[in-house]
Structure 1
Amino acid sequence: MSEGARAGRRDAVAEMKRGIILDAAQRVFAENGLRGASMRAIAKEAGYVPGAIYAYFPSKEHIYAAALSESLIRLREATETAAVGAGARERLVAAGLAWFDFYDANPRDLDMGFYLFGGGIEPRGLSEELDRELNAALLATLEPVRRAAIEIGATEDDAVVLTADTFAHASGLLLLAHTRRIELFKLDARPLMAQHMEQLAARIAT
């Protein structure tokens, strides 16, 4: 086997182990929350000795950040893919719906993104550096909405407000949907999200 082939195999094994650790960590976070989780518990869930996972991540916060980062990459791919072709108005609506649909189909990612594992709703973070990187990644998932708003005719400032509106409205509807509180009104969250995005697009256009 050539050196290049051996290196490729080592990389593949390392990536596989990294994935096992991240999957195990998400189960531990879901059960114990970020505060209650430990590197020892994550290692045990992954089937490794604690020292083995330090070769991949220096702390549980870095593991959480890596899992959340990968989730946000998938979310950005979803919104970017949805906002291809058609007119700007259609792209704005499609990107907003794609953001909603991703978390609607992946509730564990929603919990992870809002740090809801095992602790309820309150301000949380990891570290100044990790938070800055993750916040930038989150904003990038909504960039297709902001771009489309500007193409329709929004100012830079108005596009930021509209993007925040999309984020807030989708988050609220997702909370209602996944706690089933939406059933109080005998409504379906997704049509409400679609209607809201159409209204935002119309508001810009006029």
Structure 2
Amino acid sequence: MHKKQSEPRSVVRKRAVTELKRSLILEAARVVFEREGLARANIRQIAAQAGYTPGAIYFHYASKEEIYAELLAQSLDRLHQHTRQSRDLHRAPGERLRAAALAFFDYYATHPRELEMGFYLFGGIRPVGLTPELDARLNAQLRAALALIEATIVECGATPSVAARETASLFAHAVGLLILEQTKRVRLFRVEARSLFLSYVEALVERLREANKRPPKRRQPP
């Protein structure tokens, strides 16, 4: 058997340097995006924050949108992993749904800046996008995280169409409460956002359980 040849040290070192530079650029970009918003931020500001020249930034990224997309993609990947790992700690469908939904909510509750990034809220609430290609890729990543919840709703006995509708409702409920929590508006009602979301999830689990108890409707003969 032939031994697998290891890469030359120069190649390994070059890759490590490139990865380090990209991570420094991303961290600098995160600071700039939080301060300026996506619309006002530019490559020159990111370069200054990172201690590089604009040309050095363009060597790694074609645009500020590409940088933003990579930051958001990393965030969505962490969200997906956290949701899946939390769900897979349980076996019963209702418990899996509860765990997945709360993991999704808790991730953004403990990473509010990533919520802002995911919904382009640094510059205020208004329609914002990157490029059609980047938007499609990032939307697919978010959809993949939500698909974990949707699949678990199907495990609870829902049809695919019902599961899709319930997932959309759960997503809207979670995001609305997260924004209320982040803006402190939820204090107007003297309640906690997470407790409200937990009540919603518990009601969903119970509703799905009750739906499974009902006998299927028989079609009337013509």
Fold similarity call, TM over 0.5: yes
TM-score under structure 1 length normalisation: 0.96
Q: How many residues align?
A: 204
2:69 to 36, 48, 65: 65
Measured in 1, the distance between the counterparts of 2:10 and 2:194 equals: 48
Q: Which runs of 4+ in 1 moved over 6 A?
A: none
Q: Is the aligned partner of 1:35 residue 2:35? A: no
Partner of 2:21: 17
Partner of 2:119: 114
1:84-116 Cα shifts (integer Å, max 9, x gaps):
032111111111111111111111101100101
The residue type paired with residue 208 of structure 2 is I
**Sequence identity percentage:** 49
Partner of 1:97: 102
Relative distance call for 1:192 and 1:56 in structure 2 (3 A) is same
Measured in 2, the distance between the counterparts of 1:164 and 1:6 equals: 50
Task: Give how far 1:144 is off.
Answer: 1.6
Question: Quick check: which has more Rg, 1 or 2?
Answer: 2
* Structure 2 residue ranges without an equivalent (≥5): 1-5, 211-222
Measured in 2, the distance between the counterparts of 1:140 and 1:13 equals: 32
Measured in 2, the distance between the counterparts of 1:4 and 1:201 equals: 55
Higher relative contact order (CA 8 A, sep 6+): 1
TM-score under structure 2 length normalisation: 0.89
Measured in 2, the distance between the counterparts of 1:169 and 1:158 equals: 16
Task: Give how far 1:3 is off.
Answer: 4.6
Measured in 2, the distance between the counterparts of 1:191 and 1:3 equals: 53
Measured in 1, the distance between the counterparts of 2:102 and 2:8 equals: 44
2:85 to 81, 97, 104: 81
* Structure 1 residue ranges without an equivalent (≥5): none
Q: Which stretch has the larger CA shift, 172-181 or 6-15?
A: 6-15
Partner of 1:193: 197
Q: CA RMSD in A?
A: 1.1
The residue type paired with residue 105 of structure 2 is F
Q: Is the aligned partner of 1:45 residue 2:46? A: no
The residue type paired with residue 87 of structure 2 is A
